[in-house]
Amino acid sequence: MKKVTLIIRLHEISKVFPKSLQLLLEDNASTLDAIKAADKEIKKKCGNFPVKGLKSLLQIVYHPYEERFYRQVAIQGYTKSEPFLNIRENPKVRLPTDTTIILIPQGGCITDWEAIVDNARIAQGRVRLDLVMGSR
């Protein structure tokens, strides 16, 4: 098991987790696994996802059909020994232990915003989304 710290800069989530989420993940966990684990913690504490009209953090930050982060998402990963982890380009790569991820779903300096895949489209592509989110 490894420890990952996830800092989420989104008002609705920061109200519930003002500093960070400390996650204990499997040794082969990736950035996507950390986000999925955060979704579980958010739902455990809030009941429903706190952003109106959306179901999960993963939905806000990750394009399920193109398997990449949305352009407006700012994401950075680092450890004490590695000041930069290329997790934007490699969201499925295994994270080192004691990784810190800073996730800003609505990066302020981004001008090329993408629409989030809506729930109706996700329902139509349920099999594809399950591949991304995992059916655990």
What the chain holds in terms of domains, given with CATH numbers, is: 2-133 (3.10.20.30)
**% of the chain at pLDDT higher than 70:** 82
CB 78 within 8 A of CB 84: yes
- Residue 27, pLDDT above cutoff 60: yes
Comparing C-alpha atoms, which of 34, 33, 35 is closest to residue 59? 35
pTM (predicted TM-score): 0.82
CB 98 within 8 A of CB 80: yes
pLDDT digits (tens, 9 = 90+) for 50-69: 999 899 999 999 998 999 99
Instruction: Give the integer Cα–Cα distance in Å for 84 and 100.
Output: 10
Which pair of tokens denotes residue 67?
Answer: 């398997």
